[in-house]
Amino acid sequence: MEDLLKPDYGVLVLTVCNFLLLVYLLKKFAWNLIIGGLEKREQQIANDKKQAQDARAAAETLKRELDEKLAQISDEAAKKVAEAVKIGETQKEQILSAAKEQSERLLEQAKTQIEAEKNKALADVRGEIARTAVLAASKVVAQQMSEESAKSVVDRVLEEIKAK
Amino acid sequence: MDVAEIIAHHILDHDWGVSLAGFHLPITTHTVTLLSVSLVLLLGLAWIARMGQKSRAGRLLTTLSETYVSFIRDGIVLPNMGQEGRQMLPYFCTLFLFVLCVALAGLIPNMKTATANISVTAALALCSGGLILYCGLKFHGPIGFLKGFIPSGTPGWLVPLIFPLEVVSMIIKVCVLAIRLFANMLSGHMVLICLLLIIFVVGQMHIAAGAGALLPAMGLEIFMTCLELLVAFLQAYVFTLLTSIFAGSVIHTH
């Protein structure tokens, strides 16, 4: 059992040579290729990641710009709507005012016309009454009175009618 | 029944090497295991690296090998050695896999755990010591490397005392690498053979007692084998991690 701790220099040298040769050969035929492939893939992933980040940043910038434009357009639309409402209100006031004026004018015209018609009718009535009265009077006077007294009677009658 | 002899036979290396012109070529169970593992690793990894992308299994193995390299690089080398450790990455990738596969090879019948041999672990520690020395000389030059053994702020009169202590400390660290791996691998195998021997020792008293000890002993044996698997991974990780820490301490001095 004491041989357990007794170094065998032959084995030691052989192991050193074997291990160092293995390191060299594996480096040349395996690790360089595997590490190269790994680093290439990592580089590709890093590039893809960077591209994705750039694209994301560009998309975010574009989104921000579009949001700003959208907000601007919304503001403009709101302003235009408010302006249109204002114009509408003004036009409504104008139309109402014009309509009121026109109705008042028409009413006034109608009143004037009615007054004129009324006066005309009254004048006609007066003329008719006068003629009738004269006719009646002339018939009475022709029988009883002179022409002058008859006229004075007619005038008095006319005055009385006017007074009524 | 000589239990000590059986254990020694199971644990110790068996040399049937040849001597040529005064030079002894150590063909032992451990060196054969080492060479077999090396050959399998070399052929397997070279195949994965070159032919891996041509088949589905190859692509899977390539992905697996890249994951392994990432683990060694990002989990062990870069945190302890910084960017300077990148060029030593093939060494650490080989070291972890070699220590692990040699330990696992002991679980294959007719093969032995070569890392249960102090000469093998000493050789691996020697290589790690060489790497530490190489890192020190490469990044700081001979004078800078030696200066690195003197902590900053040390009074001048303490330097003659501190310097040898620091040098010895570094040598001991490297030696401890070898002893830790050796002791862990050896103890695991000793426990395994001892558990098996319980059956025969008890069986010598009475055959029925031996049969009764069979199941508990085999249960413990399976448990210990699983533990050995865990220890194999753990020791490979510890050996690689400590080597990178020591090399990193030399690269990034005080």
Angle made by CA atoms B48, B53, B54, in degrees to the nearest 5: 105
Supply the pTM of this predicted model.
0.73
Which of B 81-140 lie inside 8 A of A, CB atoms? 89-91, 93-95, 98, 114, 117-120, 122-124, 126-127
Per run of 10 residues, the mean pLDDT along chain A (length 164 residues) is: 76 92 94 90 94 96 96 96 95 95 94 94 89 81 70 80 76
Across residues B214-235, what is the average pLDDT? 90
Check CB contact of B229 with chain A, cutoff 8 Å. Answer: no
Question: Given this model, what pLDDT does residue A146 score?
Answer: 67
What are A's interface residues with B at a Cβ cutoff of 8 A? 1, 3-16, 18-23, 25-27, 29-35, 37-38, 41
Alpha-carbon span A120 to A128, nearest angstrom: 12
Reported ipTM: the value is 0.89
Confidence grade of residue B182 (pLDDT, cut at 50, 70, 90): very high
Instruction: Say if residue B169's pLDDT is above 70.
Output: yes
Taking the C-alpha atoms of residue B48 and residue B52, their distance in angstroms, rounded to an integer, is 4
Residue B26 in this model has a pLDDT that exceeds 70: yes
pLDDT on residue B1: 63
The answer to whether residue B242 scores a pLDDT higher than 90 is yes
The Cα of A46 is separated from the nearest Cα of chain B by a number of Å equal to 15
State the Rg of chain A over Cα.
63
Distance CA B105, CA B102 (A): 5
Contact A18 B38 (CB under 8 A): yes
How many interface pairs between A and B have CB atoms less than 8 angstroms apart? 125
Per-residue pLDDT tens digits for B28-42: 888 889 999 999 999
Of B124, B77, B243, nearest in space to B173 by CA: B243
Please name which of B245, B230, B162, B188 lies closest in space to residue B7, comparing C-alpha atoms.
B188
Going from N- to C-terminal start, the domains of chain A cover 9-163
Q: What residue type is A54 in one-letter code?
A: D
Quick one: pLDDT at residue B236? 95
Q: Is residue B17 predicted with pLDDT exceeding 80?
A: no
Compute the average pLDDT of residues B88-104. 94
Residue A5's contacts (CB-CB under 8 Å, 6 or more residues apart) are B118
What pLDDT does residue B254 have? Answer: 59
- Whether residue B154 lies within 8 A of chain A, CB to CB, comes out as no
- What is the least distance, in Å, from the CA of B99 to any CA of chain A? 10
